[in-house]
Structures are given as C-alpha cells and as structure tokens.
Structure 1
C-alpha cells in the first residue's frame, strides 16, 4: 500500500515564555530535497534534543486529530496538521501499524523509523494547553521519527511505501515500554534489540538497566 503524505517544514521562531522553536510548520506543495539531516528548509532550535541523523523527520498520524478535537472542543480549530510540528502527515499509518526499524521508500529517498516522538514541553506552549505533552505521552498518540537511509527528492506526489520490516516492536509497544509500563528489564532489552532503534533511545534503556530505575521525565515534559 502506498500513502500520499502531506509535507511540512518550519523555521525557528520565538515563543513568549519559552525558548525559540521551529515547531510551527508550513506545507510544501512541490518537491524538496531530503538530506541526512532532514528536509531542505526545515530547522531545529535545540539540536541536542531535536533533529540530527536519528531524528531527521517527524511523522504524526492525521487520525489522532479527531481525538484531540474531542478532548478540547473549544480549541478544535487548532487540531489539524501540522499542529504537532510534524514533517509528514498521513491517513492510514499509526503507531500500531508502524514498527521500529521499518524502512519506507519515499520518492528518491529511503527513510527508517528510529523511535517514537518523545513529547516535550514546547508542545505545551505551542498548543496553549498546560501539560499537553504529558497527555500525549500518557495516551500514546506520539507519532514517530525517521533517519534518512538514502537521500533524494521527495514530495506529496511521491507515495510512502514499506520496503522492509526489521523488528517485531511496533511504535505503540515502544511507547508503552518507555513511557507507560513500570520498570521492566526484559522489555528494555527487547526494545534495545529492535533493529534501527535510535542511539538516544538505546542509551536511555541502557541507563535504566544500569541504574535500576526510570529517569525523571519532568524536565522534558514540563520544562521544569
């Protein structure tokens, strides 16, 4: 099955009460070059936590916006792509059907799923909803990130087609293991064994095993 993704890029902008961010995106109508660091013209404000080879693209399922509209009916107009700062938006791909390590053919490029998106406090400022990042993490509607295996020209007119499945860990399972389950060494090892998992997520799971506990997530989620 081949799906047509809507494509978005964004530039760094200032946010009142928060640090600069490129979470606000605009749609790209034609073709754009995809390099190892992402779409040409797309920016990341804090490269320690966003962007880089393992996090070159963010994909958010369009299906989830109906859920957020029901949760916040008075702000329903806010919840449409690319409200979550995504580069790719589709109908027909969700965290349950996409797996860590999946490689997709997209135009001239090949992209590989590396990890779920780790919601951060900038979503709280972007949506104007306190603790929105916590809600996204708790419900599991996080989306996922890609690395670029082969560069090339891409666009909405190029379909996304699964080329290779390389693990048995879905993005939904990865979210549950990392964000929702109590400490479970066996599940951390299972996630680490998933081909294609990002270096940062492998490192986090390894740190949990070494420390015997789950790290504090408040700084990422709340900016505290």
Structure 2
C-alpha cells in the first residue's frame, strides 16, 4: 500500500546547545550524510533538552514538509536566509507529504525501520527566538503548518537515500483536521472523541483530550506559545 508519492529529501539530528535568549535546546539540527540507527527514542546521536515536552517513545521523530517553506519565505522575505531546512528542528524533510494527506496513525517504512504518526507538533516559544519572529509559534498553530511526530515501532538503519513509504492507514483523521480540532475550533465533544480514538495517539495527547472531555473546555495555549 503506497498511494502517496513521497520523496525523502534529508534527515537531520542535533545536540543540545546553549542559547542566551532561553533555556538550552536541540532545535538546531544538522544534515546527516551517512547511515544512522533509528531507535525507539529517535536517531542515534539526536538529542532533546526538555524531555517533558520533547522526545520520548511517542515523539521520537519530528517531520516538517518542505512545502511550507515557500509560505514562510513569502510571509517574511527579509528573514528568508533563516528559513532553510532544518529551521524548524525537523528530523525528516520530505516532498509530497503534508498535514493534508498524512493521517493520524499512519504507519510508514523508513529504511529498515517502521514508524507511526502519533500527534501533530505543538509549536512552542523557542521557535519564536530561533527564527526571530515573536509570534511564530502562534502563526504555525493558526496556519496548521506545524508538522507532526512519530513513534518507532521497529528499529533499524536509516539513511538520507532511504525511502519513506506508507504501509498502512488505520485511521481516518488527517493531521490537518486534527490540528483544526485541537487548536483552532471551540470545544466540541464529538470531535474530541473522534480525535481521542485516533490509532496510535500519543500518551500526552490522549491525556489532554481526555481532560478536555472532563472539563468541557480547551486548555490555554499561552504557556507553550510564549515565554513568560
């Protein structure tokens, strides 16, 4: 099963670095030029600083489509030199796969490994500093140009020339629709239940959606989008 024409452009990984504007971060990634082993915690050698919000088995890889860079180039032409992959801290850069045709729970072959979409990316304030736009995280959330995250369900070697191929699609909710429900629409119990039923949904998003059902409200986003 591979109805998608996906081209893997690059793989990236990075180490934690110090920043004068905010806490340390591993958002600055470098292009990989050779084979690396992909474990359940991500690409060997790749790091995440705040483990509460980044990394872990449900968030082992970050994917950001190359297609979105054109939008940011047009929106911020003066900052175009900053918007070069992997500006958003992504591990995977592709052409042909966006939030519109990627679905929650999708299972893909990547080299020897098998990975599954677990949640959209939740943009945070560090992106604002990294790309010099004070409200970039909010803009990403509003546009839906967030990217998404994977868990690794089979470890293996991956390389820049590996193929990314869809193996199965157990879910019916696109990442785009998930972002709309999660971030840009008022609380709706039916839609929240639909999202909660997504196959492979990460523990953190499962907890968040269940809490919304209990409180009948959507939690505030400012603590994530803007540094106090």
Q: Same fold (TM over 0.5)?
A: yes
Of 99, 105, 125 in structure 1, the residue corresponding to residue 103 of structure 2 is 99
Q: How many residue pairs end up in the alignment?
A: 224
Deviation at 1:17, TM superposition (A): 1.9
- Say if 2:17 is the partner of 1:13: yes
SS in 1 for 2:150: strand
CA shift digits 1:111-170 (9 cap, x unpaired): 000000000001011111101100110110000000000000001111000001010000
Listed one character per residue, the Cα deviations across residues 192-218 of structure 1 (whole Å, up to 9, x for unaligned) are 111111111111011011111110110
Pair 1:150 & 2:151 matched: no
Within-5 A mapping of 1:22-101:
22-101=26-105
Residue 4 of structure 1 is matched in structure 2 by 8
RMSD between aligned residues: 0.8
Show structure 2 runs of 5+ residues with no match.
none
CA distance, structure 1, for counterparts of residue 216 and residue 183 of structure 2 = 16
- In the TM superposition, structure 1's runs of 4+ consecutive aligned residues that sit over 6 Å from their partners are none
Distance 1:219 1:2 in 2: 35
Q: Which runs of 5+ in 1 are unaligned?
A: none
Q: Does 1:132 align with 2:133?
A: no
> What is the rounded CA distance, in whole Å, between the counterparts of 1:30 and 1:91 in structure 2?
20
Matching residue of 2:205: 201
Normalising by the residue count of structure 2, what TM-score does the alignment of the two structures yield?
0.97
- Normalized against structure 1, the TM-score is what? 0.98
* 1:166 corresponding residue in structure 2: 170
Aligned-pair CA distance for 1:2: 4.8
| 1:213 lines up with 2:217 in the alignment | yes
